[in-house]
Structure 1
Amino acid sequence: MKAGIAVVVAALVGVGVWGGLTWFGRDAEEARAAAEKVASGLAAGKFADGTVVADGGGPDLEPIVEGMGKAEHAVSVVTVAEPQDATAEATLRHTWRLPGSEESWTYETPLELRKSGDVWAGVWSPAMVAPGLVDGEALRTKRQQPPRANVVGAGNQPIVEARDVYRVGIDKTQASAAEAAASARLLAEAMNINVDNFVAAVQKAGERAFVEAITVRVGSQEADAALAVNEPGVRLLQGERMLAPTAGFARPILGVVGDATAEIVEKSEGRVVAGDTVGIGGIQSAFNDQLGGQPSHSVVTSGGPEERTLFATEAKPGSAVTLTLDVATQTAAESVLADVAPASAIVAIQPSTGHVLAAASGPGSKGQSTATQGRYAPGSTFKTVSTLALLRSGVTPTSSIQCTPTVTVDGRTFKNVDGFPTSALGSVPFSTAFANSCNTAFIRAGEKLDPSALPSAAAGLGLTAEADLGVSAFLGSVPEPQPGTDEAASMIGQAKVQASPLGMATVAASIAAGKPVTPTLVLADDGGGVGSDVSSDASPSASASASASASASASASASAPARPVTAAESETLKALMRSVVEQGSADFLSDVPGEPVLAKTGTAEFGEAGALKEHAWMIAIQGDLAVAVLVVEGEGGAATAGPLLEEFLRAVA
């Protein structure tokens, strides 16, 4: 009987132990689930109801993390200790990814868990958010951009650098409301900005605000005009901005430095935030990461007795971008184009290196880079390409060729330029037809060419290579012509043939060099070219890597044409271009100082029949300089582009 009782007791004890283990395991699971819920709330920046037990000031999470902005916060549960007396200790791991920072802020915080009734929850404490955080403190981020690096040109001469400016505006602490509004009106009129908008901005701003109207260069006419507005509240605050030598200097190529737009911020994938200074357009945008470097980031406490730094990264300064642009040459080109009303351009290339010394677009281009992106029929300047194709077919400078006033192809009549010299008509040497730009002679000669001859010759002179300047650019396009009028028009640089001034300057440079030249604008540290693989979407390290690994020669990285122009062919082309100056349509260049000038005029008709307009072109070679000039609406190459070319060559002589 006693033995039976013993068995029953043992069985009851066994049941009690098993039940306790089951209950304990459930507590551990529920405690971990509560910890996971706290982690999710911390990451989201807001706790769901019942996530934490209020203790003292309560779960004031949102105002604590509000200052972290768009930083991404990930929180995970590292450990949960065994529950003891309805409590448990957990450890959380936090990782913050700050916008624009390559480094993450990672740390661990303690979390107390408590069971109330049957429910586990976290016990609120600011220290669960960040190490050592106490009641009344909050987190906020700081971001400081390093000084932006310069853009330098040929001879390491600064092009874009920090230059003195005035921030011109109204200081409302220095004037009554009525005076501020009146002064704003006068200042806006003097600065030629929208008067009503600026007055409204001043009236809307707080009573202690400085409302900026415009930023102007110290010493500029605009600065003088602002200084002359001696009215209550008008102030000029001195500062610095990254600027080129003048407001218009190579602007379509360089771009500008300014405040990041909402679109730039959105496309940056976190690398750029509102308030950042960035490159906008051109080189400044394409090489923004290299020039701008990487900002410093920190997380600090606010609201406490003193600010404490919890996390910090060091800024990485930007590095200069070196261009081939020569300040004096670019300035001369822009000066020549200053009074040209239609869209216009001058491009100058050094044939021995391929360096683009100038890429100027006139005021008529309205901010567009006609120099590097224009797509226009090159007219008779393209006869340099047609001539290479003819030379390869057996034509020589002394070959006899028929130059007639007109020629009809498939019912369409082609003629020579108005005023064509009668002395150059008839059966003449090819050199005479080239010197005087006889359209009909070229059209007749072209009938015997293979359809691939023109595209091959264009490639051989570098015209149809892929432009790789580091910014958007176009050289030229020469498709195989169709028999008939398309072939005829293509021979004289019309139909579907297109080129930019950069492209035609490249043709001239290739003739001068005796080999295809690849234009280069941006230089790597080793002197080689840097192409457009470096962009505003690249990381700072990618920009630096691309610069460092660029080829030692821009031409080496370009695809070589199947049949490049040879030294012998280029000598013939140069002799023909010299004849244009000695006895042809560019004789006005014969007395330009310096080495002999070689040239080719060009006119291309465009528009509707009966209302045709003309693109005016010229290309030239002088020593180690190749130049292309374009006026989009002119009156013939020699008449419109010619004087501009002459003025430019004299300016840089």
Structure 2
Amino acid sequence: MKRTAAIVCLSALLVTAGCTDSKSGSGKPDPNNETQASAALVKSFAAAWVKAWAPNGKPDEAAALTDAPTTFGPRLDGVDTALVAQSVTVTPQGDPKCSDSNTCTQDLAVEAILRGIGTMKWTSSATAVKTGGTWKIKASGDTIYPGLSDANYLKRVRTAPNRASILDRTGKPLTTNRPVVIVGVASGNVATAATYAALQQKLQVDGAKLRTRATTAPAGQFIDAITIRAEDWDKLRPTMGKLPGLLTMGGTQSLPESANFARSVIGTMRTATAETLKNAGPTASSADLVGTTGLQYSFQQQLAGTPGGTVTLRDGKTKMAIKEVFNQQGKPGTVVKTTLDTNLQRYAEAALATSKLPASLVAVQASTGQILAAANGPTATSYNRAFQGQYAPGSTFKIVTSAALLGTGMTANSPMPCTNTINVFGKTFKNYDGLAAYGTGTMEKAFINSCNTAFISQNGRLPADGMTKAAAMFGFGQDLKLSIPAYGGKVPAPKDVVAESASMIGQGTVTASPLQMAMVAGAVKNGTALKPVLVPGKDANGPVASALPAATTNALRAMMRANVQGGTASVLKGVGANGAKTGTAEVVSNGKVITNGWMVGYRGDVAFAVIVEGGASGSKAAGPILNNFLGRFK
């Protein structure tokens, strides 16, 4: 055995970087120097192993460096598959230990990231042997994992903890882990046209897309289509259970009390996609059910916790575990407490169920800005138009317009004429809801009758940015920084007097969400506009602007109260509303002008807003919904 003279290599890295004896100056390992040659081979093998276990990696390069490529390649690939390795680092340790001039062994420190679990570490050993003048890695299972042989194999088991609940403001669970059934089909051409048709008709699954997924997938796979509640599947089982190729799997999923309950806020869960898997974090698996919208998406990692897992060395014949070689304990998720009130959420959804048109209702606590209920109806939807909808607020925005005019020195008793129409530089504005001109009146009368022309007649009192500044007092234009996406409204500075006039009646470029308009009503009740809060401790809270002038607050409260007592919001008089404002906004939909019906207001410390898409007017469309909602609680 040849010994290295003159120079002692301090590490394998120095050896493979070109550490040589005094007789070699080429910088390349000397094939006749067993230490150098084996170290260089082990280094190359380690790099090839890393490539083999990379995403879409192949074992060919690593196998070619062994003395039995045809058997070692599949073995290395098989361990990768068994561990579900996402990646690996393989680092040669120390210097090779050579028993003779033809055999050297060197340790390998291995760190494999097991997808969906974490990092598993071990030390294996690579033996380099010289045969026929060529150095090769001995194709042994020990090279991959100590003790691995033809008679055994590695098996991993991943265990995901139960998903934590989303809670209401009192700590009551809004979601719990409930039994579900994952409905799908067998890969290939097992499912028939009747199977896909039934899935599309009964469960609204896109049959064509599912068929494509099934026919292009490898044989023997389960192609998931949809996850439904176990009780819903029990109803469908008699007619769908025996369809050719249809398969089901049982499981649990974090779900609210019903499919519609707070769906757009709580959110939904689906089998992970590339996008949602990235959001779910490094320990998530592509087979996991993860949050796709709402709070389930925003707090995915907190709710899901950390999975655990084990890897055991098992007997190839008996399949029994020989020993456990890796164990990582999972960590349960932690709950997310919201400001939602379970009862008010139920009442909101029950009220929206009475509508034949798409509608949204938001209720907030005026004194804190905390969101008590947010519902979209009359059918279940994941699109949260209550928070994200960008609508012209129509005459509900006259709350802001009144505040702007009150800021110029006007009062609720200041005269404002109501005419049938008003012309502003060639643009004719009219009144809605069949309101007839009544001539001379006050701001309060214009407010409770929702006279557009009366408010527009005062546009000369406001500076060019008057409406924008007034809107800012109510929080418009702010980034709400809520836990889930929400729109805080926008009131751009008008480009001319015509645009300013349109903004005074909540039209033109003025947009708001139902959430923002509920916050406007809350600001009148509270005296200061607040930031909305859905998840305390996560969402920003507190004032969004300085307090409204006391005179302005008092005047707005009085006008909103008068509107309930004898104005367009009188539909709420019987349910004790303290103040309200209706609104009808013209919008263009599919090339046609339609109206959306609005109503905002407050009762006690609960401020609210409702929009009905395509509603004839605020009083006729939104009024009955709010009457139903407020009539359900005191």
TM (normalized to structure 2)?
Answer: 0.83
**Is the 2:267–2:382 contact (alpha carbons within 8 Å) kept by the matching residues of 1?**
no
What amino acid is aligned across from residue 303 of structure 2 in structure 1?
L
Shift of 1:289: 0.3
2:354 touches 2:625 (CA, 8 Å); kept in 1?
Answer: no
Question: 1:66 aligns to what?
Answer: 81
Which residue of the other structure, out of 45, 53, 65, is the alignment partner of 1:51?
A: 65
Match of 1:585 among 568, 572, 580: 568
> Do the aligned partners of residues 365 and 417 (structure 1) sit closer, same or farther apart at CA in structure 2, a change above 3 Å counting?
farther
Residue 565 (structure 1) aligned with residue 565 (structure 2): no
Mapped to 2, the partners of 1:36 and 1:442 lie a distance apart of 81
The counterpart of 2:620, out of the listed 639, 650, 653, is: 639
CA contact (8 A) 2:38 2:96 kept: no
Q: How far 1:195 sits from its partner (Å)?
A: 11
For residue 519 of structure 2, what is the aligned residue in structure 1? Answer: 506
3-state DSSP class of the match of 2:106?
A: strand
Residue in structure 2 matched with residue 612 of structure 1 by the alignment: 593
Contact 1:347 1:502 in 2 (8 A): yes
Gaps of 5+ in 2: 8-19, 25-29, 53-58
Is 1:39 the counterpart of 2:52? The answer is no
Q: Show the counterpart of 2:13.
A: none
1:35-74: CA deviation from partner (whole Å, max 9, x where unpaired): 2122223333334466233499767433333323342111
Structure 2 match to 1:3: none
Shift of 1:256: 1.6
Letter of the structure 2 residue corresponding to residue 585 of structure 1: T
Residues 263 and 117 of structure 1, relative CA distance in 2, 3 Å threshold: same
Match of 1:445 in 2: 458
One-letter amino acid of the counterpart of residue 522, structure 1: V
Partner of 1:273: 285
Q: Relative to structure 1, is the Cα distance of residues 217 and 126 closer, same or farther in structure 2, using a 3 angstrom cutoff?
A: closer
Instruction: Work out which of the residue numbers 558, 570, 580 in structure 2 matches 1:599.
Output: 580
Distance 1:199 1:88 in 2: 55
Superposition map of 1:95-106 within 5 A: 95-101=111-117, 103-106=118-121
1:126-178 CA distances to partner (integer Å, 9 max, x unpaired)? 1121122223333343322110111111222221112345667999xxxxxx9
SS of residue matched to 2:176 = strand
Distance 1:346 1:73, change over 3 A: same
Aligned pairs for 1:120-199 (under 5 A) are 120-165=135-180, 191=202
Q: CA deviation at 1:200?
A: 8.4
For residues 110 and 437 of structure 1, do their structure 2 counterparts lie closer, same or farther at Cα, with a shift above 3 Å needed?
A: same
Q: Which runs of 5+ in 1 are unaligned?
A: 1-15, 172-177, 532-553
Q: Structure 2: how far apart are the matches of 1:208 and 1:83?
A: 48
Partners of 1:144 and 1:444 lie apart in 2 by 69
Distance 1:359 1:294, change over 3 A: same
The answer as to 2:558 corresponding to 1:575 is: yes
* CA-to-aligned-CA distance 1:354-384 (integer Å, 9 cap, x gap): 1111111114685421111111110110000
Partner in structure 1 of residue 468 of structure 2: 455
Which residue identity lines up with residue 73 of structure 1 in the other structure? Answer: V
1:249 CA drift (Å):
1.3
Q: Which residue of 2 aligns with 1:5?
A: none
Residue aligned with 1:44, SS? helix
Of residues 387, 391, 407 in structure 2, which corresponds to 1:376? 391
Q: Do the aligned residues in 2 keep the contact of 1:141 with 1:300 (CA within 8 Å)?
A: yes
Alignment of 1:511-526 (within 5 A): 511-523=524-536
Aligned-residue offset at 1:623: 0.5
Q: Deviations over 1:510-548 (max 9, x none)?
A: 11111112111113xxxx3x13xxxxxxxxxxxxxxxxx
SS of the aligned residue for 2:479 comes to coil
The answer (yes or no) to whether the contact 2:598–2:609 under 8 Å persists in 1 is yes
Q: Aligned match of 1:285 in 292, 297, 301?
A: 297
Bigger mean CA offset, 392-401 vs 210-219 = 210-219
Cα deviations by residue, 1:268-299 (Å, 9 ceiling, x for unpaired) = 57442221121121111111001100111333
Task: Spell out, residue by residue over 1:165-206, the C-alpha distance to the aligned partner (whole angstroms, 9 max, x if none).
Answer: 5667999xxxxxx9x9899799869946679889989x9999
* Counterpart for residue 607 of structure 2: 626
CA separation in 1, counterparts of 2:527 and 2:258?
A: 36
1:350 paired residue among 338, 361, 365: 365
Q: Is the 8 A contact 1:79 1:92 kept in 2?
A: no
Contact between 2:281 and 2:301, CA under 8 Å: does it hold in 1?
Answer: no
CA contact (8 A) 1:187 1:226 kept: no
- In structure 2, distance between residues paired with 1:169 and 1:123: 45
Taking structure 1 as reference, are residues 352 and 75 closer, same or farther at Cα in structure 2, changes over 3 Å only?
same
- 3-state DSSP of counterpart to 1:156: coil
Instruction: State the SS of the aligned residue for 1:71.
Output: strand
Residues in 2 aligned to 1:412 and 1:66: alpha-carbon distance in whole angstroms: 71
Shift of 1:96: 1.1
1:474 aligns to what?
487
SS class of match (2:405): helix
The one-letter amino acid of 1:30's match is: A
Q: What's the CA shift string for 1:473-515, capped at 9, x where partnerless?
A: 1021011113321011111111100001001001001111111
Superposition RMSD in Å: 3.9
Distance 2:391 2:407 in 1: 26
Structure-to-structure mapping, 1:414-425, within 5 angstroms: 414-422=429-437, 425=438
Matched letter for residue 251 of structure 1: R
Q: Check the 8 A contact 1:145/1:295 in 2, yes or no.
A: yes
Distance 1:240 1:610, change over 3 A: closer
Higher deviation after alignment, 62-71 or 390-399: 62-71
| Partner SS for 2:416 | strand
Deviation string 1:398-433 (CA, Å, 9 cap, x unpaired) is 2122222221101111122243255xx222222111
What is the identity, as a one-letter code, of the residue corresponding to 2:154?
A: L
Q: Which residue of 2 aligns with 1:242?
A: 254
Q: Distance in 2 between matches of 1:362 and 1:469?
A: 22
Bigger Rg, which one: 1
Change (3 A) 1:499 1:58: closer
Aligned amino acid, residue 306 of structure 2 = Q
Specify whether residues 140 and 568 from structure 1 end up closer, same or farther in structure 2 by C-alpha distance, changes over 3 A only. farther
Structure 2 CA distance for aligned equivalents of residues 360 and 650 of structure 1:
17
Q: Secondary structure at the match of 2:136?
A: strand
Equivalences, count: 595
- Contact preservation (8 Å) 1:512, 1:574: yes
- 1:507 and 1:376 map into 2 onto residues whose CA distance is 15
Structure 2 CA distance for aligned equivalents of residues 379 and 58 of structure 1: 73
Range with greater deviation from structure 2 (474-483 or 132-141): 132-141
What is the rounded CA distance, in whole Å, between the counterparts of 1:37 and 1:122 in structure 2? Answer: 10
Deviation readout 1:66-122 (Å, 9 max, x if unpaired): 323342111121122464531323222111122244x52222222322333543333
Contact 2:260-2:381 within 8 A present in 1 as well:
no
Q: Which amino acid aligns with 1:457?
A: A
* 181 and 602 in structure 1: CA distance in 2 versus 1, 3 angstrom threshold: closer
2:514 maps to amino acid: P
> Which secondary structure does the structure 2 equivalent of 1:78 belong to?
strand
CA distance 1:22–1:258, shift in 2 (3 Å): same
Q: Residue in 1 aligned with 2:23?
A: 22
* Aligned partner letter, 1:283: L
CA distance in 2, matches of 1:62, 1:610: 59
Instruction: Provide closer, same or farther for how the CA distance between residues 569 and 142 of structure 1 changes in structure 2, counting only shifts above 3 A.
Output: same
Q: Is the 8 A contact 1:188 1:198 kept in 2?
A: no
SS in 2 for 1:390: helix
1:583 and 1:413 map into 2 onto residues whose CA distance is 29
Letter in 2 for 1:95: E
Distance 2:86 2:382 in 1: 37
Letter in 2 for 1:575: A
3-state DSSP class of the match of 1:426?
Answer: coil
Aligned position for 1:547: none
Q: State the distance in 1 between where 2:382 and 2:423 align.
A: 41
AA paired with 2:498? T
Asked if the contact 1:162/1:241 (under 8 Å) is kept, the reply is: yes
Q: Which moved more, 1:337-346 or 1:210-219?
A: 210-219
Matched position secondary structure for 2:541:
helix
Query: Aligned pair in 2 of structure 1 residues 343, 310: CA closer, same or farther (>3 Å)?
Result: same
